[in-house]
Structure 1
Amino acid sequence: MTADKNILVASAAIMVAVSVADQAAAQSARGALAGASRTASNFERDRNVSVRQRPREDYQAMGLRMGAFMAYPKLSLTAEHNDNIYGLATNEVEDMIWRVQPEVSLNSTWSRHALQAYGRATINRYQDFDSEDTEDYALGASGRIDVLATANITGGVDWAQLTEPRTSSSSPLASASPIQYDLTSANIGAAREFNRLRLSGRYDYRKYDYEDGRTAGGTPVEQDDRDREVNALTARAEYAVSPATALFAEVSKNWREYRLSPPAVTLSRDSEGVQALVGANFELGAVTRGEVGVGYISQEFDDSAFDEIEGLGARAQVEWFPTQLTTVTLTGTRTVEDSGIPGSSGYLSTNIGAQVDHELLRNVILTGQIASGKDEYEGVDREDDRLTAGVSATYLLNRRAGVTVGYSYFDQSSSGAAGGADFAVNKVGATLTLQF
C-alpha cells in the first residue's frame, strides 16, 4: 500500500470518529448527561461474572494512587522445564528456563472516559543453552472518550519486541538463535447506539519488522522478506431483537503489503482480503453468553503465481456457567494468515478450543484447556495439525502474592511434500507472582 493510501485510510477512520463527535455536540442542548437515567443497554452482556473476572476483595492488588490514576506494579518469577526446546522430531534437547516478567499498568479513575497505559518485559534465561536467551518488551496505551451515554470513540497504540517460538512453522531451523521482531500497532474506532441499533467502525494498523537470524557459523538467515504492513477497516451493524440477543453483520477489508517486492524477491506476496460475517451475540439467562459469527473470507494476491485463498470464515466465543463456581469457555476461528515458509503466500487457519475454570476455594482456581488447529498452506504442498492441552492451579496467598503450577502439551503433525517435522513438547512450570 502506498503512503497516500495509508493517509486516506487513516483519514476515513478519523472522519468517522469526528462525525460521531459532531452528532453528540449537536445534541448537547437536549442534555448530554441524559444517560444517567436511561435504562440498561440492549447490548450489555453482564448478568454473570466468570471465574477469572470475579473480584476477590481479600486477594486483589491495592495499587498505588497517582492523582486521578491507579498504578499496579507486578513481578512474575517462573521456573519451567521444557523437554524439546527446539521443537525437533528426533534428538530432542531439554533445558530449564528461568523467566522474569516485570509489569506495570496505569488506569484512570474518572467517572467518564478512560485511559490505560502499560509496560512489561519478559526475560528468559536458559540454564544450559544460552543461545536461546531472549528479552521481550512491550509498551502501549489505550483510551475511550464517552461522547454520549450511547456513543464513544476508542483508540490505542502498542509497540513490542517479540520472539518467535521455536514451535512456529515459520521459525527457520537454520538460525542458531530464535527470530525476534518488532510489532507496531494502532487502532481507532467509534460506536453509537440508537435504541435497538448499534453502528460501529474501526481502523487497525500493524507493522512487522523481523531481525535476521544467524547460523552457527555466523551466516545471516535473511528475514527481510517477512517485513510487512497490514491495514484493515471494519464496519459493523447490530440489531437487538431483545434485551438479551442481538443479530449482527460485519464486513472487514484488509491490505497486506510486504517491504520487499520483485526483483528483490522472486514472488510478490502483497494481497487484499475481505471477511464478511453474520451472527448473534447473546446472554441466555445467567447461564450462557457469547458471540457466534459465520460467513466468507478471501485473500487475493497480486502475484498470479498464487491462487486466491477463500472459504468459510468464522469467529466464536461462548461462555457457559454450569454453576457460579465454574466457567466453561468455547472458542473458534477460521482466518487467512500470512506464511513465513518460502514459496507459500499464506494459509487457511482453523482453530477450536475449550477451557474450564473452577473456583475450588475462594483463593484456589483450577484450570484445564484443550485446543486443536489445522493450517492449510497455499503455494506449497503442506498441512499442519496441532493439538495443545494443559492444566494449572493458582493459589492466591494474599493481596501481594500468588503461586501457579502447571503442565502443558503441544503436538504438531505435518503432511505433504513440503511438510515440516512431527514433534511434541512437554512443559512443566511454577510461577510466583508478586503485586502491590
Structure 2
Amino acid sequence: MKTSFRRLLIGCVAASALQVVAPTIAHAQIEASPLIPATLPDGFDKGRNVSVTERPRPDYDPLGVNLGGFTLFPKVDTGIGYTSNVYLTDNNKEGDGFVVFNPAARLRSEWNRHQVQLNAAGAFRRFFNNSVRNEDSYNLAALGRLDVGDALTVTGEAQFAQQFETPITGDVASSLAVLSQYKRDFLSLRGQYGVGQGRLMLAADRSHFAFDPIRLPSGTAIDQENRDRTLTRVTAQAEYAFTPSISAYGQLSYGDTDYDTLLLPNVANRDSDSYRFIAGTNFDLSALVRGTIGVGYAQRNYKSPLYKDVDGLSIEAKVEYFPSELTTFGLGLRRVIEDSNIGNTNAYFDNRGSLRVDHELLRNLILNAIAEYAQQDFIGSTRKTTFYRGAGGARYLINRLLGLQLQLSYIKRDTTGEDLGQQFDEFRGQLTLVVQR
C-alpha cells in the first residue's frame, strides 16, 4: 500500500503509534549526517601540523599492492555490536545484537604530476532478531586531478552511493528517517589558481537524490517520491595569505534546488534559490593550532508563494589544537539552512557543534573521545529538536595487516514545541576486526 508521504507522516505521529528501526551506519557522527556535503574541501592544512590520526606509523601503516603506476589498498572491517534500543522508543525498549561487514578498496596513482583515485566501499549490517533493521549501503567514487602548469589545477569528481538517513536528520521526522534509504549521484568540477600570495577557486557540482519508499514493519509503504530532487551549486572563493601560516578568504555560493514532483497533487514543492556569503581565516601555526573559521549570511528564496523565504547567520568552523605530538583536540561548528519535509515547515536552521580528542597512548594504541550537540530550529514553528551524543573508543594496531577497533556511544534526542517525532535514547557498542593490505 502506498500513500502520500506527508499525510501518512502527520497521521502516524499524531497517533504516536509508529515503531522505528535503528540508526544507520553514519548515525554515530553528528557532523556527517547532513545529506549535502561541502562544496570545497578544507583549505587550512598547509603542512605545518600533523594530527594523531594522520601521523605516519611506518611499522603499522599498510603498504598496499603495487600495480605499476598505481597502488591498491584493500580493507575489510568485520565485527559484532549491540544496541540497547533497537526501535528507538521510550516505551518497551528492546536490545539487540548485530554483525557488520564493511569491505573497501582504494586505487591511487603514484605519479609526480596529476592524480587519479578510485574508491569503492560497502557497509552491511545484520541484526540478530530484527531483520527490518538490516542495512546495505555502498559508495563508488572516482577523482581525477589535472595539473596545468605550476599555478592551475583542475579536479573532477564523481560519486554514486546508496545510504540510509539518520535519526538526527531534520529533513523528516526521526521516527521515519531511520527507515529511509536513498540513492545519491554526484558530479563536481573545480579549479584552483594560485599566484604569489593569492589563490582563486571556482567549483560547480550537481547532486541528485532519489528516496526509496519507506517499508514499515506492518507492511505499509510510504512513498517518498516527492522528496526526490536535484541540487546544482556554484561556489567561488578568493584567498590571500598574509604570511605562510595565516590567510583570509571570502566565499560566495549559489544553489538551485529543483524537486522532481509536486509535494501533493496541485501543491507546489519546495523549489528554491539559495545564496550564501561567508568570510573568515585559514591558519596553520606550527606545533600549535590549525583551522578555518568563517562567518556570513545565508538566504533561501522559494519559488512558490506557499513557502516563506528564509535568511540568517551562517557559520562554518573547524579548528584543531596540538598540545603535544601525542594529543589532538578538534572543534567543529556549523550553522546552515536546510530543507524540511516535516508538517507545514519548509526549512530549518541546522546548528551543530562537536569536540573531539585523540590521544596516542602507545605507538599502536590510539584513544578517542567525542562530545556532540545538534539543534534544529524549524522556521515558522515552535518546534526544536536537540540531540546529544557522547562516545569513546580505541584503535589497537596489531601489525600492518590486522587491527582492532572498539567504539562505545550514547545518543539522546529531545523535542520541544510541536512534537512531530519520538524522543529516545540509545547506547551502542561495537568491536571490529580490521584486515588491510
| 1:186-219 Cα deviation digits (max 9, x unpaired) | 1100011120111110012111100112334433
* Letter matched to residue 276 of structure 1: F
TM-score scaled by length of structure 2: 0.86
Residue pairs, 1:240-389, within 5 angstroms: 240-261=241-262, 264=265, 266-389=267-390
Q: Which residue of 1 aligns with 2:221?
A: 220
**Per the alignment, do residues 111 and 142 of structure 1 end up closer, same or farther by CA in structure 2, a change over 3 Å counting?**
same
User: Do the aligned partners of 2:174 and 2:422 also contact (CA within 8 Å) in 1?
Assistant: no
Decide whether aligned partners of structure 1 residues 136 and 174 sit closer, same or farther in structure 2, where only a CA change above 3 A counts.
same
Separation (CA, whole Å) in 1 of partners of 2:174 and 2:411: 18
Contact 1:175–1:216, Cα closer than 8 Å, also in 2: no
Give the aligned partner of residue 399 of structure 2. 398
Q: 5+ unaligned residues in a row in structure 2: which ranges?
A: 1-42
The equivalent residue for 2:210 is: 209
Identity %: 30
Tell me what 2:192 maps to. Answer: 191
SS in 2 for 1:225: helix
Partner of 2:75: 74
Deviation at 1:54, TM superposition (A): 0.5
Separation in 1, partners of 2:177, 2:322: 47
The aligned counterpart of 1:101 is: 102
Change (3 A) 1:351 1:166: closer
Instruction: Indicate conservation of the 8 Å contact 1:306/1:378, yes or no.
Output: no
> Considering only aligned residues, what root-mean-square deviation do their CA atoms show, in Å?
1.9
Please give the secondary structure, in 2, of the residue aligned with 1:391: strand
User: Structure 1 residue 297: deviation in Å?
Assistant: 0.9
The Cα of 1:359 is off from its aligned counterpart by 0.6
Amino acid at match of 1:221: I
SS of alignment partner, residue 242 of structure 2: strand
Q: Distance in 2 between matches of 1:332 and 1:324?
A: 24
Output aligned runs, 1:44-83, within 5 Å. Answer: 45-83=46-84
Residues 150 and 174 of structure 1: CA distance in aligned 2, closer, same or farther (over 3 Å): closer
Does the C-alpha gap of structure 1 residues 115 and 310 become closer, same or farther in structure 2, counting only changes over 3 Å? same
Deviation, 1:171, is: 5.6
Out of 252-261 and 334-343, give the one that drifted further. Answer: 334-343
Offset at residue 338 of structure 1 (A): 2.0
User: How far did residue 412 of structure 1 move?
Assistant: 1.0
Contact 1:50–1:327 under 8 Å retained in 2: yes
Of 281-290 and 377-386, more deviation after overlay is shown by 377-386
1:30-69 CA distance string (max 9 Å, x none): xxxxxxxxxxxx9862111110000101101121111211
Name the larger-Rg structure: 1
**Judging changes above 3 Å, is the alpha-carbon distance between structure 1 residues 170 and 190 closer, same or farther for their aligned structure 2 residues?**
closer
Per the alignment, in what secondary structure is the counterpart of residue 399 of structure 1?
Answer: coil
Task: Give the Å deviation of 1:279.
Answer: 0.5
The separation in 2 between residues aligned to 1:303 and 1:266, in whole angstroms, is 9
Moved more, 82-91 or 361-370: 82-91
Q: Which amino acid aligns with 2:389?
A: T
Distance 1:285 1:275 in 2: 31
**TM superposition shift of 1:276:** 0.3
- CA-to-aligned-CA distance 1:63-113 (integer Å, 9 cap, x gap): 111121100110001211111122212222221111100111100000111
1:245: how far off? Answer: 0.8
Q: 1:217/1:423 Cα in 2 relative to 1: closer, same or farther (>3 Å)?
A: closer
**1:397 and 1:379, CA in 2 relative to 1: closer, same or farther beyond 3 A?**
same
Within-5 A mapping of 1:109-124? 109-124=110-125
- Once the two structures are TM-superposed, the CA of residue 405 in structure 1 deviates from its matched residue by 0.9
Kindly indicate whether the alpha-carbon contact (under 8 Å) linking 1:386 and 1:413 is maintained by their aligned counterparts in 2: yes
Letter matched to residue 157 of structure 2: G
Conserved 8 A contact 2:246-2:283: yes
Q: Structure 1, unaligned stretches of length 5 or more?
A: 1-41
Shift in alpha-carbon separation, 1:307–1:117, aligned structure 2, 3 A: same
Cross-structure match for 1:84? 85
User: Closer, same or farther in 2 for the Cα pair 1:265/1:426, shift >3 Å?
Assistant: farther
SS in 2 for 1:292: strand
- Distance across 2 between alignment mates of 1:353 and 1:315: 12
After TM superposition, the structure 1 stretch with the greater mean CA deviation from structure 2, 190-199 or 214-223, is 214-223
Give the Cα–Cα distance (whole angstroms) in 2 for the partners of residues 56 and 62 of structure 1: 11
CA distance in 2 between counterparts of 1:357 and 1:177 reads 29
- Tell me which amino acid in the other structure corresponds to 1:123: F
Check conservation: 2:164, 2:178, Cα contact below 8 A.
Answer: no
Structure-2 residue corresponding to 1:30: none
Are residues 323 and 304 of structure 1, via their aligned partners in 2, closer, same or farther at CA, if it must alter by over 3 Å? same
TM-score when scaled to structure 1?
Answer: 0.87
1:142 aligns with 143
Q: Alpha-carbon deviations, 1:359-415, whole Å to 9, x = none?
A: 111100000111111101135441111111100011000000100112111111111
Q: Aligned pairs, how many?
A: 395
Aligned equivalents of 1:385, 1:170: Cα separation in 2: 14
The answer as to 2:425 corresponding to 1:424 is: yes
Q: Which stretch shifts more, 174-183 or 127-136?
A: 174-183
The worse-fitting range, judged by mean Cα deviation, of 218-227 and 166-175 is 166-175
